[in-house]
Structure 1
Amino acid sequence: MINPIAIQLGPIAIHWYAICIVSGLLLAVYLAMKEGEKKGIRSDDILDFILLAFPIAIVGARIYYVAFEWGYYSQHLDEIIAIWNGGIAIYGGLIAGLLVLLVFSYRRMINPLNFLDVAVPGVMIAQTIGRWGNFINQEAYGKAVDSLNYLPAFIRQQMYIDGSYRVPTFLYESVWNVIGFIIIIATRHKPHLWRQGEITAFYLIWYGCGRFVIEGMRTDSLYFMGMRVSQWLSVLLVIIGIVFIVYRRLKGIGPYYLETKEEN
């Protein structure tokens, strides 16, 4: 079993979970800044946005998780802020981050669709790395299985929980996001392929479809009206993404991705 604490400096403990989240964030910022240069979005704007949005997204992700597990946290109020033990919901973070982005884009006079299209690939990579924090914390896994012989030994060992091997749903989502990231990176600069906002819409569809299936395998899901909360939201994201693309294509709305550039 991997120790969830990476570094212990006296009373200060640095968890692998936090390292995964911060590493994903840094890589996402780097990717956004590189692409932002081509789209006329200043690096300073991206950094300012991240410094504002990241802490708010973490709070949003925690509030979302705690809200749907209030039965437990109402009896353990001291654990509400203990995010180093896990328990943040990516959808809560995405919702909070989106709200910040809309306000930030308005204040900086940046088209939010351009900002999103630049940021989305980095978001997918950040989610990919973040799932390995779940792996180290031994959370976000599926049902018990007889063996995991198709996986490397270090994953099998870490996925041996409560006397059984567990389906590594963290790994499935991580791989799914990497595939989506590769598709976007390999195609986004092809002429007359993506329209403005469609990279973001693709992310909604791709992530929503993968998350719906993978969430169904998990044993630690949050529930609402008899179905997993993340599955409800996944369906909503897929619908939004499809409607966005179909409507704008039928109406001929929006320039192509390569034709959009912010004026500074």
Structure 2
Amino acid sequence: MENQITPLNPVAIQIGNFSIKWYGIIIALGVVVALLLALREATKRHFDKELFVDLLIWAIPISIICARIYYVIFQWDFYKDNPSEIIKIWHGGIAIYGALIGAVGTAIIFSRIKKISFFQLADIAAPSLLIAQAIGRWGNFMNQEAHGAETTRSFLESLHLPDFIINQMYIDGVYYQPTFLYESLWNVLGFVVLLILRRTKIRRGELFLSYVIWYSFGRFFIEGMRTDSLMWGDFRVSQVLAVILIVVSVGIMIYRRLKLNPPYYLADKYGKVPKQK
């Protein structure tokens, strides 16, 4: 039976030599869903939703470039001998942390130019980012990547996974842990948690910082299960960065409360937030 398992085709559309892969379609879907959710929340918060469209025009290409740069830096032993491969992003090799660094950096600069609060912008976008990441991991699923260590079919079946996931985790004669799924589910749970936090009395900036802490905490443990981690000596880069981001985020939250006294978001009984300066 296992010898007859055929993986899902990663190519969605093939026209001659031109192909569109499911990975790109799924990533694009995540971006669209995130934007729609952010626009809906911006309207509820009386925040200019056109700003998100303007930001996205810059953030998407910059995030892709940063995701690629991040990956290349930590795979430099390969790329220094194959410099022509650096720009060939279609051969694979981007990192979500690099994309997030690019997106956040772009948002900070964009906020300064537009003279708006970065943290208010980031708070609106935070749940959207998590759901986009949850969707995006299914692109890894289609490519049979971002998986964990070897396992058995019986173990995967014990997780009550549908056959299409179990079969896709059968790679070159071996079953692997579906760490893409673990992270996707962690992000969905985080999305729900942030939605709950958003309806509480929370200070400006703390929803975004909670997003960073939540994602980094889960990523630390899930990264430890993966077999394709980017390495920094003996350390997994994503685990090191996760720890740094958690410490920095908690530190920023404490500092802002003690020194800056950021305003609260005061939602009414319908969850709508009045316009605040």
Shorter-normalised TM range: over 0.9
Q: How far apart in 2 are the matches of 1:177 and 1:205?
A: 12
The Cα shift of 1:243 comes to: 1.5
**1:31 aligned to which of 19, 24, 37:** 37
1:185 aligns with: 195
Indicate if the aligned counterparts of 2:197 and 2:207 stay in contact, CA closer than 8 A: no
1:165 aligns with: 175
Residue type at the aligned position of 1:24: G
| 80-89 vs 109-118, which moves further | 80-89
| 228-237 vs 253-262, which moves further | 253-262
The Cα shift of 1:260 comes to: 7.5
**2:85 aligned to which of 54, 60, 79:** 79
Structure 1 length-normalised TM: 0.93
Which residues in structure 2 correspond to 1:58-69 (within 5 Å)?
58-69=64-75
Q: Could you give the per-residue CA deviations for residues 102-121 of structure 1, whole angstroms, max 9, x where no partner exists? A: 11101111100000001111
The Cα shift of 1:187 comes to: 3.0
Structure 2 length-normalised TM: 0.89
The Cα shift of 1:146 comes to: 1.9
Structure 1 residue runs of 5 or longer lacking an equivalent are none
**1:227 aligned to which of 213, 235, 240:** 235
**1:242 aligned to which of 236, 239, 250:** 250
Indicate if the aligned counterparts of 1:113 and 1:197 stay in contact, CA closer than 8 A: yes
The Cα shift of 1:251 comes to: 4.5
1:3 aligns with 2:9: yes
Aligned-residue CA RMSD in angstroms?
1.6
Which residues in structure 2 correspond to 1:35-184 (within 5 Å)?
35-147=41-153, 148-149=156-157, 150=159, 151-184=161-194
Structure index of larger Rg? 2
Q: How far apart in 2 are the matches of 1:138 and 1:79?
A: 21
Indicate if the aligned counterparts of 2:148 and 2:226 stay in contact, CA closer than 8 A: yes
Q: How far apart in 2 are the matches of 1:168 and 1:76?
A: 31
| 78-87 vs 51-60, which moves further | 78-87
Structure 2 residue runs of 5 or longer lacking an equivalent are 1-6, 267-272
**Would the alpha carbon gap of residues 242 and 249 (structure 1) be closer, same or farther in structure 2, given more than 3 Å must change?**
same
Q: % of aligned pairs identical?
A: 49
Indicate if the aligned counterparts of 1:86 and 1:137 stay in contact, CA closer than 8 A: no
Q: How many residue pairs get matched?
A: 261
Indicate if the aligned counterparts of 1:201 and 1:240 stay in contact, CA closer than 8 A: no
